[in-house]
Structure 1
């Protein structure tokens, strides 16, 4: 049976630090560009829901050591409310960013709905504490945040910590393997980790099958696939 599709647009860019030549990170424009080049018309969603993001800023929160922490938290709460309000169990939901920090709101939503798995495909692990971040951008530590690493104001919004259990996550594709301190963070976690070279050796199909097998064996309520 063909499933209905909903698209959620969350054009947040507060999780990134802008480059010298930028006025703001361009990921805010992603949903609009995808629409312009026919993504929405090809997907043919039943509904398109959008939550506008605050204006870009570079505020550094000394308490959490994360830029724009308070704005990201408030957006995550609104984002979770938006998804939950429009959630339909048998509908396939596509979430468009925005930067990786929108994972926080998505993760909060799934925590409220049950116990879910996460397949995280990225050229970085995004699994570091704020102390190891060179920029303070939440988009570079979102996987750590959703599993409980970092300041409590971000990791325990509405008392939901952790949003995902480490052992229910596959993190795949990291190409930044030369920094031992960076890689050790995820190796020493409970996350199933496959860097880019391990992913190529194992094969994407086999890795994905292993993930789905884990979801089935643990009796999880479902899973989310993140491509960043």
Structure 2
């Protein structure tokens, strides 16, 4: 399956409030993502970008406080259907965002094919908010909660089933900015989290060894959802919600290399690359470098 990679771009910027992240898929292509993967002997099927219907001005759903709800639902429905078809063809789905709200569609399409889908959430944030707990109403802070079946039914019910994943099959890596409602949910549901505190104390090799061992025991497929703000802003400045004190470039490469060696991954997405906030496409270039390590690029 991993020999054939289907790339799907989702130029979504409606899950948050800073313009420019819709150019993320183009920035990663421009930084050489397809050429990099072709050099590693993969067959690449670039399916282009999903069209996003933009409202004339941002909308807020009166009953739920969610911003641009209808458009986010529509885009994620399209993405879920595309991902579903590519997995049926036995292609590896590789999704380029766009803001992190697109993980709602990714996980909907992928989880249809697995009994116990594992998720590695590589991110400074938990993305476990709902309309009730979100300080902003931005849906890009909600995709993991939505995939657990928590949140607005139009989001949780994409493809007609919920939940998409189980809390015990999630590992969050790199967290350093969690809202009170997210902390409570993590405790209540027993979600495994390696904060920057654990990463600093244990080191990335130990964190990845434990993550791989933990997921290998309980899952039949693993999706990587990598938000570039998981890295420190000095390494990946082009993100909408940077949080200092993040994962280093080298630690991230090591994490990707260890995932590749584990042969656990069955799908992946790279999100929140915003070239408007970037320095000479540095963040997209970092994303492409990490893809190289994830798909087997070695230094020797």
Which residue of structure 1 aligns with residue 220 of structure 2? Answer: 221
Where 2:112 maps in the other structure, the secondary structure is helix
For residue 86 of structure 1, report the CA deviation from its aligned partner.
2.4
Aligned pair count reads 220
Q: Relative to structure 2, which stretch is displaced further, 89-98 or 160-169?
A: 89-98
Q: Which residue of 2 aligns with 1:47?
A: 45
Report the equivalent of 1:148: 149
Gap change, CA 1:2 and 1:158, over 3 Å in 2? closer
**1:105: how far off?**
0.4
Aligned to 1:170: 171
Which residue of structure 2 aligns with residue 32 of structure 1?
26
Distance 1:176 1:12 in 2: 23
User: Which residue does the alignment assign to 1:159?
Assistant: 160
Structure 1 residues 85 and 141, CA gap change in structure 2 (3 angstroms) = same
- 1:134 CA drift (Å): 2.2
The structural deviation recorded for 1:211 is 2.4
Counting only pairs closer than 5 Å after superposition, residues 62-211 of structure 1 correspond to structure 2 as 62-87=62-87, 91-115=91-115, 116-176=117-177, 180-211=180-211
Q: What displacement does 1:12 show?
A: 1.1
Q: Name the SS of the counterpart of 1:60 in structure 2.
A: coil
Backbone CA RMSD of aligned residues? 2.2
1:2: Cα distance to partner? 7.5
Task: Describe the superposition over 1:112-146 as per-residue Cα deviations: whole angstroms up to 9, x where unpaired.
Answer: 11131000011111112222222211001211111
Distance 1:39 1:210 in 2: 29
Distance 1:2 1:59 in 2: 39
Using the alignment, how far apart are the partners of 1:81 and 1:90 within structure 2?
15
Q: Match of 1:46, SS?
A: strand
CA distance in 2: counterparts of 1:71 and 1:213, whole angstroms: 38
- Give the conservation status (yes or no) of the 8 Å contact 2:37–2:44: no
**Contact 1:27 1:97 survives alignment (8 Å):** yes
2: CA distance between counterparts of 1:181 and 1:138? Answer: 15
1:9 aligns with 2:9: yes
The residue aligned with 1:60 is: 60
What TM-score results when the alignment is normalised by the length of structure 1? 0.87
In structure 1, distance between residues paired with 2:166 and 2:182: 20
- Cα contact 1:111–1:160 (8 A) shared by 2: no
Distance 2:62 2:222 in 1: 34
* Structure 2 segments unaligned to the other structure (5+ residues): 228-300
